[in-house]
Amino acid sequence: MGKPANLPQQLDHMLRQAVALQQNGALTEAEELYREILELKPRHADALQLLGALALQSGRLLEGADLLERALALNPKQAPVHSNLAYALSALRRFDAALVSADRALALQRNFPDALNNRGNAQAGLDRPLEALASFDRAIALAPEFAQAWNNRACVLRDLGRPADALASCDRALALQPHYPDAWSNRGNALSDMNQPQEAERSYRRALELAPAFADAWNNLGLTQIDLDQHTEALSSYERALAVDPAAAETHWNESLCLLQMGEFERGWRKYEWRWERSRIKAGQRSFTEPLWLGDFSIDGKTILLHAEQGLGDTLQFCRYAALVSKLGAKVVLEAPVELMRLLTTLDGVSQLIEAGQPLPPFDCHCPLLSLPLAFKTDLATIPSATPYLFANAQAAARWHERVDAQARGRLKVGLVWAGGNRPHVAELRRNDARRSMTFERLAPLLDVPDVQFFSLQKGSAAQQLGHGEGARQVVDFTEELDDFADTAALVANLDLVISVDTSTAHLAGALDKPVWILNRFDTCWRWMLTRTDTPWYPRARLFRQPALGDWDSVMQAARAALAALNSPP
């Protein structure tokens, strides 16, 4: 009989066998062998890193990252292991650490496409899309056949607001790897950004044929079905996504918006609480030791903090609940952004108003403003719709009166807003902002209605579009004198009508009980629901809806006809 093989040879033999098994997809058998090696020699760097890579392949990210770190502690000079660790850390959303690992890999091996790709993903996660694009471009220059890098590059091109380039990048990835579900789904995202929902749907369906348990693609398909006015179908797509990933905050959130649009308030408000789990909103969640109140305990004799969240329009719409909270016997402290502070002094039910960022007084419990409908179990019949609940300052309004009347000379006085805020740093907000806004030129059909004097209420960069064109001569612009919403309210108090896209000024007009016409995008915000031309939130609001995605022409023609009718003698 020959001598038993010595340990190093035995380990080498086992390692070669395990690698062969792993390469042939026999992951369970490979894993057993790696674990046997590590029982015989716990500090076996190759077994640690190969088992780490296998754990990543099996979706066990934490375990994989831990094994790779142990391998690197034994032998830090392995570029591929640093690169794999970068991949794992990005997948765990530890982007800072991922970038460090990718850079270590590149310090050891300068032109390493895999590490450049992982570095790009880390940079994208850190919201540095231009640096990420440079990393993906370098990876592709070194390895033009690198389908993953083409696909990842598409994601950052979308973040940079370049959907057509993102589409081209997805198509390169798919030319190299036609059965690549992620690239099909990203292709759908780019098409959706380009307002091509039918094409987007086809791409998501292809992704789902290839990977039926692809939660992200189900979620994105749901969003595109909303763009196609298929709300029931969207709900079932969200259900499919949640069956795969029950903790997917984005999907729960999208489902809540769909339910609220459809008027299914009870389920919708409950689901709306998932907003706090979304990575974009989570950072803004307040961590108070005092309990969250959602209508579930008595607040009689207690002090409650109501705090603003999200946009100024949201605060203007939901501050109306302060009076209801106060009627339950609570002392209401309202925290709000500086732009609204003077206006909100006119709100009923508030004991103390605190500017956001200032120290808070003691309180017993708290509630974010957009959780109040859940706390009050608001349904269509019980929306607190009495207006006005905010008021212009009487002296300030009187000061505007003469100036406005002097410009109008007896004609109808109409305020105009054509663009919402622009939040380019967040892809979903950028898309909504682009869809809800129009250019000043689009208002042209309104501007030639006779016997109307228009006043600009447009703030922000879009105000510059007023310029010096033909239309500009028909629009009086006092906006330089408007520093906050109390100033705007005093001007609006002197108008007969406000015509606005879906933005905070529309909510201001509604809260002041001023007639307001809302020019609304097709994939409407949930609060305006579906198909209605009125809204239970503001009795004097009228909705002019796009009949199809991006169709402002129809909206303008309808608004023009309504304005002409309003202004013609009976």
Contact (CB, 8 A) for 419 and 435 = no
**Stretch 551-566: mean pLDDT, rounded?**
96
Contact (CB, 8 A) for 298 and 396 = no
Q: pLDDT tens digits for 437-452? A: 999 999 999 999 999 9
Tell me the average pLDDT of the chain: 93
pLDDT at 64: 92
pLDDT at 474: 85
The two three-digit tokens of residue 415, written as one number? 């305020």
pLDDT at 4: 45
**Lowest-confidence pick of 1-5, 140-144, 506-510:** 1-5
pLDDT at 468: 64
Q: pLDDT tens digits for 357-410? A: 999 999 999 999 999 999 999 999 999 999 999 999 999 999 999 999 999 999
Q: pLDDT tens digits for 266-283? A: 999 999 999 999 987 777
CB atoms within 10 A of CB 431: 19
Q: pLDDT tens digits for 254-266? A: 999 999 999 999 9
Using CA atoms, how far apart are residues 568 and 566, in angstroms rounded to an integer?
6
Using CA atoms, how far apart are residues 291 and 299, in angstroms rounded to an integer?
11
Inform me whether the pLDDT recorded for 29 exceeds 90: no
Inform me whether the pLDDT recorded for 163 exceeds 50: yes
Q: pLDDT tens digits for 36-59? A: 888 888 888 888 888 889 888 888
Residue 448 contacts by C-beta under 8 Å, 6 or more apart in sequence? none
Inform me whether the pLDDT recorded for 2 exceeds 60: no
SS3 287: coil
292: left (phi over 0), alpha (psi -120 to 50) or beta: beta
Of 307, 320, 269, 311, residue with least CA distance to 510:
320
Rg of the chain (C-alpha set): 29
Inform me whether the pLDDT recorded for 457 exceeds 70: yes
CB atoms within 10 A of CB 327: 10
Q: Which helix (H) or strand (E) holds 314?
A: helix 312-318
Inform me whether the pLDDT recorded for 190 exceeds 50: yes
Q: Which CATH architecture has domain 394-567?
A: 3-Layer(aba) Sandwich (3.40)
Distinct helix (H) and strand (E) counts, the chain: 27, 10
Of 175, 237, 235, residue with least CA distance to 200:
237
Which residues in the chain are classed under CATH 3.40.50.2000? 394-567
CATH of 303-382, one of 1.10.3470, 3.20.20, 3.30.750, 3.40.50: 3.40.50
Is the pTM here over 0.85, yes or no? yes
Using CA atoms, how far apart are residues 560 and 448, in angstroms rounded to an integer?
9
User: Parallel, antiparallel, or unpaired for β 303-307 and 331-336?
Assistant: parallel
Residue 434 contacts by C-beta under 8 Å, 6 or more apart in sequence? none
pLDDT at 44: 86
Going by pLDDT thresholds of 50, 70 and 90, the confidence category of residue 355 is very high
Contact (CB, 8 A) for 399 and 490 = yes
Inform me whether the pLDDT recorded for 471 exceeds 70: no
- At residue 414, φ and ψ (nearest 5 deg) are -125, 125
Name the percent of the chain lying above pLDDT 90. 80
Going by pLDDT thresholds of 50, 70 and 90, the confidence category of residue 1 is very low
- At residue 533, φ and ψ (nearest 5 deg) are -105, -5
pLDDT at 112: 97
CA distances (Å), origin 203, targets 147, 155, 181, 192: 17, 15, 9, 10
Alpha-carbon torsion angle 168, 171, 175, 181, nearest 10? 150
Longest CA–CA separation in the chain, Å:
115
Using CA atoms, how far apart are residues 228 and 244, in angstroms rounded to an integer?
24
pLDDT at 351: 97
Inform me whether the pLDDT recorded for 13 exceeds 70: yes
Contact (CB, 8 A) for 400 and 491 = yes
Inform me whether the pLDDT recorded for 3 exceeds 50: no
pLDDT at 470: 66
Inform me whether the pLDDT recorded for 327 exceeds 50: yes
Q: pLDDT tens digits for 279-298? A: 877 777 888 999 999 999 99
Name the percent of the chain lying above pLDDT 70. 97
